[in-house]
Amino acid sequence: MTTSPAAPDGGSALRLITGLVFTIVAMAIAVIGFARLFGVLEGGGYGTSAMRTALVVLGVAGACLATGIATLIWEISKRYERR
């Protein structure tokens, strides 16, 4: 008796939308983070808490971008998977 392989998981609209939202949000957060960073650096605030805050905002943007891109790659690989 043979069993058929499991049907491949097709694309998911939820994964696609989640990946796009994370990527778009990351771009918006990055713009805000760079604007804060430029403002702090122009004011000579090296090593201040405002500088750390700007870098944390940029870190959050990077995390959102990585999550969004990884989710989009996951979605595309599932959508076009060949078995």
Q: Residue 45's pLDDT is what? A: 78
Do the beta carbons of residue 40 and residue 48 sit within 8 Å? Answer: yes
Do the beta carbons of residue 40 and residue 50 sit within 8 Å? Answer: yes
Which tokens is 15 given? Answer: 């994964």
Q: Residue 2's pLDDT is what? A: 56
Spatial separation of the C-alpha atoms in residues 72 and 21, rounded to whole Å: 10
What residue type is assigned to position 51 of the chain? M
The answer to pTM > 0.85 is: no
Give the closest residue to 76 by CA, choosing from 22, 16, 36, 18: 16
